[in-house]
A and B are shown apart, each in its own frame.
Chain A
Amino acid sequence: MNTQAIALHTRLRREARTEGVFRMATKASALLVLVLLVGVIASLIYGSWPALKVFKWSFVTGERWNPVTEVFGALTPLYGTIATSIIALLIAVPLSFGIAVFLTETCPRWLRGPISMAIELLASVPSIVYGIWGLFVLAPILQHSVQPWLIEHLGSLPVLGVLFKGPPFGIGLLTAGIVLAIMVLPFITSVMREVFRMAPLSLKEAAYGLGATQWNVVWDVVLPWSRTGVVGGIMLGLGRALGETMAVTFVIGNAHRISASLLAPSTTISASIANEFAEAVGDLYTSSLFALGLLLFVLTFGVIAAARLLLMRLERNAVRRV
């Protein structure tokens, strides 16, 4: 009897000890997610310190990027990053909106699954594949048919014309923007589809009852209702576009030069890092690339965090409403 009680007691104690260990392990793993983020920030600041000390604010405003004279300014890659991302959004947002509307309104039920899956597969294609496709398939098409047309017809417009001047290189800001658009399209579509589906049926039915067409319902009822989610989805896409590396590296042309024309080769922050980091000679050069990384981190983290906050608020509201 007594030995049995002792055996049970030790067993229970062992159970409790394992419980403590397991609990701590899960908590430590969760904390590791935060530690990694802090580590990333610390390593970027540590790495970029020498460059920031030398160039101070002129690192962000400087246009020169010269490894020989060791003068580094991030303005060109920053411009390229933002310009390509804007082009990507201008193309991807209307397309995503159209697809999301099709999937939630027009699409026959049995086709919904397969089409959603096909669009989401676009997100799983590795970015290097987009890069090689962009370079060998898309760029020649643009160079031989689209860009000459743009130059001929839009190049002579009074204000917008400068965007479409110069020879058709095939690679450059516009090409990178188009490739990025294809890459962020599935992410924006998927968020839009989710929030459109959440629109209350009673609201839609009320609008139909007032004589609205299906498009009136989408544009004047569903879209305003899901505004927050749509903005969140677009910003999520923007965050992706800003940080995308390999696909852009293939088609941007890697020229540290700012030109008004969208057809000209340029560079982005991520493409500069990918191209130059392994070969950078000298501490100041490497450190400047780290500073580019820090800039990219601040940019993407800000955009993605804002997007997540919007989407989180939306989720909480949805739960409350139910």
Chain B
Amino acid sequence: MNMLRRRRIVNVVAFTASTVATGIGLALLCAILWTLLSRGLGALSVSVFTQMTPAPGSSGGLLNAIFGSVVMTLLGILIGAPVGLLAGTYLAEYGRGSRLSTVVRFINDVQLSAPSIIIGMFVYTVVVAQMGHFSAIAGAVALGIIALPVMVRTTEDMLNLVPKSMRDGSAALGAQPWRTITRIVYPAARNGLVTGVLLAIARISGETAPLLFTALNNQFWSGSLNKPMANLPVVIFQFAMSPYKDWQQLAWVGALLITLFVLLLSIIARSISSLFGQHANPGE
């Protein structure tokens, strides 16, 4: 009897603790979002989008940083997405079950969680050191390399969801595999592939570490891919660590913008993939 009661008490305590743990997890998300909103919204104004990053003590905005982030993220996706799509296609179609795919899949999964700062050092060696200076294109290459494993993983997962009978049907009509893949499999997996691209954008648009010594930063407007370019993450880093109040204020605005953008993208991506009837989770 006593033993039974003890087990019942343990049961209640344990499940209460697990509920509390969930509460803590949710509270942390809320706390972070609340801080961003309360500190960032107050300083959010039109000038953030119309003026350049200021010198300490003067007012300004984040225009050049936002522009730089958009440019480098888009370029990064343009580099990473096509290669990732093709590599994922190999894993799911041509190389299915081959030893090469097993190795590539394993290495790709490891790269998914590998520290991004190391990619920064790699790009520094092969691009920055060769060109002799920091540049936006180096930053874009670094972001592209980080986007690649996300694309490979989602592409493979999504193509695997397309029923084999569709491929068989296409082959029976005399189509070569490449025609089957581009005309039948890709369209069938379209939503999933879009999800992959969105998740890859979400992943790289907040990346800071690989940009620190590739794109560096630029206090002024620069449209040249050959020069250092301002970007939101590095500006946030620099401004937040500075002793100047107005710089810190802008850092909060930047953090708010970037977080809203990334969270919105993740939510959209997840909704698309759940409509598609699939659960995309390359972050694991």
Contact A26 B94 (CB under 8 A): yes
B111: chain A residues within 8 A (beta carbon): 33, 36-37
Q: How far is the CB of A201 from chain B (nearest CB, A)?
A: 19
Task: State in angstroms the CA–CA spacing of A89 and B8 once bound together.
Answer: 29
Q: Are A274 and B148 in touch, CB under 8 angstroms? A: no
CA distance A98 to B114 in the complex (A): 26
B217 to chain A, nearest CB (A): 9
Verify if B281 is at the interface (C-beta below 8 Å from A). Answer: yes
CB pair B207–A126 under 8 Å, yes or no, is: yes
At the interface with chain B, which of A11-19, A57-65, A153-161? A11-19
Check if A240 is an interface residue, CB within 8 A of chain B.
yes
Q: A151: shortest Cβ distance to chain B, in Å?
A: 24
A203 CB within 8 Å of chain B = no
Within 8 A of A (CB), among B2-27: 7-8, 10-11, 14-15, 17-22, 24-26
- Give the residue of A30, A122, A246 whose beta carbon is less than 8 angstroms from that of B208: A246
Chain B residue contacts of A26, Cβ below 8 A: 86-87, 89-90, 93-95
Q: Are A129's CB and B29's CB within 8 A?
A: no
> A99 contacts B255, CB within 8 Å?
no
A213 touching B8 in the complex, CB below 8 Å, given contacts A43-B125, A46-B125, A119-B25: yes
Query: Is the Cβ of A239 less than 8 Å from the Cβ of B113?
Result: yes
Do A300 and B15 have beta carbons less than 8 Å apart?
no
What is the total number of residues of chain B having a CB less than 8 Å from a CB of chain A?
93
- Compute how far the CA of A26 lies from the CA of B101 in the bound complex, rounded to whole angstroms: 11
Is A124 touching B284 in the complex (CB atoms < 8 A)? Answer: no
Closest chain A residue, CB of each to CB of B203: A124
Q: Of all chain B residues, which has the CB nearest A25? A: B86
Give bound CA distance, A70 to B148, whole Å.
37
Q: Which residues of B contact A94 (CB under 8 A)?
A: 21
- Is the C-beta of B176 less than 8 angstroms from some C-beta in chain A? yes
Determine if B152 is an interface residue (Cβ-Cβ < 8 Å): yes
Name which residue of chain B comes closest to A190, CB basis.
Answer: B284
User: Taking the complex as formed, is A296 at the interface, i.e. its CB lies under 8 A from any CB of chain B?
Assistant: yes
B residues less than 8 Å from A219 (CB atoms): 14
What is the CB-to-nearest-CB distance from B218 to chain A, in angstroms, rounded to a whole number?
13
Interface residues on A, range: 35 or more
Q: Which residues of A contact B145 (CB under 8 A)?
A: 36
Q: Is residue B55 contacting chain A, with contact meaning CB distance below 8 A?
A: no
Q: Mark A99-127, 1 if CB is under 8 A from B, else 0.
A: 10111011100000001011111111111
Q: Is the CB of A308 within 8 A of B126?
A: no
Chain B residues closer than 8 Å to A102, beta-carbon distance: 15, 18-19, 21-22
Main secondary structure of the interface of A (DSSP, over half): helix
Chain A residues 177-199 with CB under 8 Å of chain B are 182, 185-187, 189-191, 194
- Taking A190-B281, A190-B283 as contacts, is the C-beta distance between A308 and B110 under 8 angstroms? yes
Given known contacts A46-B125, A119-B25, A132-B252, A34 and B103 CB-to-CB distance under 8 angstroms: yes
Interface membership of B209, Cβ < 8 A: yes
B240 touches A132 (CB 8 A): yes
Q: Are A118 and B26 in contact (CB under 8 A)?
A: yes
- Residues of chain A lying within 8 A (CB to CB) of residue B147: none
Q: Does chain B have a CB within 8 A of A172?
A: no
Task: State which residues 232-251 of A face B: CB under 8 Å.
Answer: 236, 239-240, 242-246, 249-250
Question: Within the assembled complex, what's the spacing in Å between the Cα atoms of A313 and B233?
Answer: 38
**Set of chain B residues within 8 Å of A18, measured between Cβ atoms:** 176, 178
Determine how close the nearest CB of chain A comes to the CB of B16; give it in whole angstroms: 10
Task: Enumerate chain A residues within 8 angstroms of B35, measured Cβ to Cβ.
Answer: 133, 136-137
Q: Which residue of B lies closest to A216 (CB)?
A: B7
Q: Which of A40, A101, A189, A273 contacts B25 (CB 8 A)?
A: A189
Report yes or no: A22 in contact with B118, Cβ–Cβ below 8 A: no
Do residues A99 and B18 form an inter-chain contact, with CB atoms below 8 A?
yes
Please, how many angstroms separate the alpha-carbon atoms of A304 and B110 in the complex?
A: 6
Q: Quote the shortest CB–CB distance from B180 to chain A (angstroms).
A: 10
Which listed residue, A101, A127, A136, touches B206 by the CB 8 Å rule?
A: A127
Nearest-CB distance from A215 to chain B (Å)? 4
Within 8 A of A (CB), among B170-208: 176-179, 181-182, 202, 205-208
- Complex contact B262–A126 (CB within 8 A): yes
Check A297 for interface membership: any CB of B closer than 8 A. yes
For the complex, is B275 an interface residue (Cβ under 8 Å from A)?
A: no
18 CB-based A-B contacts, threshold 8 Å: A23-B177, A26-B89, A26-B93, A39-B126, A101-B18, A105-B15, A120-B270, A123-B283, A125-B32, A129-B259, A137-B35, A190-B283, A245-B116, A270-B209, A277-B124, A277-B212, A278-B213, A304-B110
In the complex, given contacts A98-B22, A293-B117, A301-B110, what are 20 additional A-B residue pairs having Cβ atoms less than 8 angstroms apart? A19-B178, A23-B94, A30-B90, A36-B111, A43-B125, A44-B118, A44-B122, A118-B29, A119-B25, A126-B262, A128-B206, A135-B240, A216-B7, A243-B118, A245-B116, A246-B237, A273-B121, A278-B212, A300-B114, A312-B106
Enumerate the 6 nearest inter-chain pairs by beta-carbon distance, A residue then B residue, closest first: A126-B206, A98-B21, A243-B115, A29-B86, A26-B90, A22-B178
